[in-house]
C-alpha cells in the first residue's frame, strides 16, 4: 500500500511536469520585453521599451517607457493589451491622467509595427505617429 501511494505521487509529479511546458507554450507571443522606436507627425522621434505581462486573471498588461534624445519622458502602466490574430491593440493613460494613448499595430516575424494616437476626452486628436518594436530574446 505504501508503495502504491509513492508510485501514485511520482506519477502525479510526472504528469504535472509534463503539463507545465504545455501551459508555457500557450502564452501569448506578445508577452515579453519589446524594444523599439517611435515618431510623431510633428517630426519628434524617440525610443520605447514595452514590457507585456500576463496578469493573474489571464489578461495582459504591462509597462511602457518612452524616451527622446536618450532622456526618459515618462513610464506608465499599460492598462489594456490585446492580440487577435496578428492585430495588436493597447492603451495606457498619460502620466498626468489627462489623456489616453492608443497603440495599434501588426505582429509579423517577431516585430510589432503600427500607429499611435493621443486622445483627450471631448477633443479632436492632438498627436499621432508611428512606432515599431522588436521582442528581446
Asked if residue 55 lies in contact with residue 61, where contact means CB atoms within 8 angstroms, the answer is: yes
pLDDT at position 2 is 47
Write out pLDDT tens, residues 4-25. 443 433 443 433 344 444 344 4
In the block, residue with C-alpha cell 487577435: 84
How much is the average pLDDT of 95-121? 93
Round the average pLDDT of the chain to a whole number and report it: 84
Mean pLDDT of 66-88: 95
| pLDDT for position 47 | 98
**pLDDT score of 121:** 84
**Of 99, 98, 95, 135, nearest in space to 117 by CA:** 99
- Which of 77, 34, 75, 25 is CA-nearest to residue 55? 77
The reported pLDDT for the residue numbered 123 is: 85
Domain 32-135 has what CATH class? Answer: mainly beta
- Residue 4 pLDDT: 47
Classify residue 48 by burial, with Cβ atoms within 10 Å: 0-12, 13-18, 19+: buried
User: What is d(CA 94, CA 75) in angstroms, rounded to the nearest whole number?
Assistant: 9
State the average pLDDT over residues 22-31: 70
Q: Is the pLDDT of residue 99 over 80?
A: yes
Sorted by where each begins, the domain ranges of the chain are 32-135
Amino acid at each position: 500500500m505504501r508503495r502504491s501511494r509513492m508510485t501514485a505521487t511520482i506519477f502525479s509529479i510526472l504528469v504535472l511536469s509534463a503539463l507545465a511546458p504545455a501551459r508555457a507554450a500557450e502564452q501569448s507571443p506578445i508577452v515579453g520585453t519589446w524594444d523599439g522606436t517611435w515618431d510623431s507627425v510633428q517630426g519628434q522621434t524617440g525610443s520605447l521599451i514595452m514590457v507585456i505581462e500576463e496578469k493573474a486573471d489571464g489578461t495582459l498588461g504591462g509597462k511602457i517607457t518612452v524616451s527622446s534624445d536618450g532622456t526618459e519622458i515618462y513610464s506608465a502602466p499599460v492598462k489594456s493589451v490585446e492580440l487577435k490574430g496578428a492585430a495588436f491593440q493597447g492603451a495606457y493613460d498619460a502620466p498626468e491622467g489627462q489623456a489616453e494613448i492608443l497603440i495599434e499595430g501588426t505582429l509579423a516575424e517577431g516585430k510589432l509595427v503600427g500607429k499611435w494616437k493621443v486622445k483627450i476626452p471631448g477633443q479632436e486628436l492632438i498627436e499621432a505617429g508611428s512606432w515599431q518594436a522588436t521582442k528581446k530574446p
